[in-house]
Amino acid sequence: MDACIKPLCFELLSEVGEGSYAKVYKAREVGEEQRLLAVKKFNFHASASDNGIPAFIIREVSLLRKMKSFNHPNIVKLLDASVEPVGRSLDLTLVLEYIDQDLSTYLSKVPAAGMSPDCIKNVMLQLLQGLDFLHTNMVLHRDLKPENVLISSRGEIKIADFGMARIYTFNIALTPEVVTLWYRAPEVLLRSVYMSSVDMWSAGCIFAELFLLRPLFQAFTEVQQLQKIFEFIGFPGEEDWPTDSPFSYSFSWGPKVSRNMPLHIVGPEENDLLAKCLTFNPSSRISAAEALAHPFFTRH
């Protein structure tokens, strides 16, 4: 048991990314191993009514610490997490294993001829194995997108940023940044309850992107996002519309023409898996475990 964890000492080397909520630095561990690390620093402004560290941050950090013990090959390894009050705000620092690049950067470098079928299969297999693991442990990612999927030089896929979405949601009210809608499931856009199936929707969007080398649904408002989705999957029947959504079922949401089109550049098995990920009704959508047993993966 790793009961007594020494604080990690590191030196920051360079800034690798500035997301909406955090700065990520490349760092090197000081000491024998000299491992490369990614250090992610968040700063939360405590509101006037707050007393100490908000409970939801403590919850999320303890979740991340729990994840650490999982040690799953497709989940980025968290090495340390700490929260520190600094004046009237809070600094949250996560120390992670350093992975060469994210999937978005990787995709931007793929030659126009596209990724090989084996490579696509390998990325999806690992992504779904990671998701299956999170979902089995009752963890939702909620913000799965190529920027939050890391890929090592050896082609290992590591899901990053899970468990943070609740902190983000809280922080959106404080920092009105633009957050991409492109991977967001329709039930989230429709403000209905959601579960692990939201991540399967995002996985479907990423699957299509591996073939297209561009995002499948690129919209800039929530309504436009839903319209793009309906153009592709067809307009759902009223029986599939979420009953708890504040938006009532209306054809005005739908496209003028429902195309219900497969992706022409992919084969029937790929299209079948894609359609099962991009199923409107979250309770009929394929799970990560079911997707891993799909003929796309099992047939050689």
Ligand X SMILES: Nc1ncnc2c1ncn2[C@@H]1O[C@H](COP(=O)(O)OP(=O)(O)O)[C@@H](O)[C@H]1O
Number of residues in the chain: 300
Under rule CB under 5 A, residue 262 binds Mg ion = no
CB-nearer residue toward ligand X: 40 or 142: 40
Verify binding: residue 19, Mg ion, rule CB under 5 A: yes
3-state secondary structure of 33: coil
Q: If we measure between CA atoms, which residue out of 208, 30, 57, 75 comes closest to residue 217?
A: 208
* Site track for Mg ion across 136-175, x = CB under 5 A: -----------xx------------x--------------
Q: Give least dist CB 287 to ligand X, A.
A: 25
Q: How many CA atoms lie within 13 A of 248 on its CB side?
A: 0
143 is an active site residue: yes
**Are 40 and 97 in contact, with CB atoms under 8 Å apart?**
no
Distances (CA, A) of 210 to 25, 103, 106, 215, 225: 27, 9, 10, 9, 20
Interface with Mg ion includes 17 (CB under 5 A)?
no
Q: How many positions of this chain bind Mg ion (CB under 5 A)?
A: 4
Residue tagged active-site, from 102, 132, 143, 199: 143
3 contact partners, CB below 8 Å, separation of at least 6: none
Residue 98 interacting entry, from Mg ion, ligand X, none, C-beta within 5 to 8 Å by type? ligand X
Task: Say how far apart CA 226 and CA 190 lie, in whole Å.
Answer: 9
Q: Which residues of the shown chain bind ligand X in the complex (CB under 6 A)?
A: 16-17, 19-22, 24, 38, 40, 76, 96-99, 102, 147-148, 150, 160-161
**Position closest to ligand X via CB:** 19
| Residue 23 assigned as binding residue | no
The separation between CA 116 and the C-alpha centre of its own chain, rounded to angstroms, equals: 23
Least separation in angstroms between residue 53's CB and ligand X is: 20
How far is residue 226's CA from residue 223's CA, in Å, rounded to a whole number? 5
Distance CA 179, CA 148 (A): 13
Of the pair 96, 198, the CB lying nearest ligand X is at 96
Residue 16 binding target from ligand X, Mg ion, none, CB below 5 to 8 Å by type: ligand X
What is the smallest separation between the CB atom of 62 and ligand X, expressed in angstroms? Answer: 19
Classified as helix, coil or strand, 91 is strand
> Which phi and psi (to 5°) does residue 101 adopt?
-155, 165
Select from Mg ion, ligand X, none the partner in contact with residue 74, using the beta carbon and a kind-dependent cut-off of 5 to 8 Å: none
Cβ contacts of residue 176 below 8 Å, gap of 6+?
none
Min CB(223)–ligand X separation in Å: 24
Residues lying near Mg ion in the complex (CB under 5 A) are found at: 19, 147-148, 161
Give the residue numbers of the binding site. Answer: 41
Catalytic residues: 143
Give the residue numbers of the binding site for ATP. Answer: 41
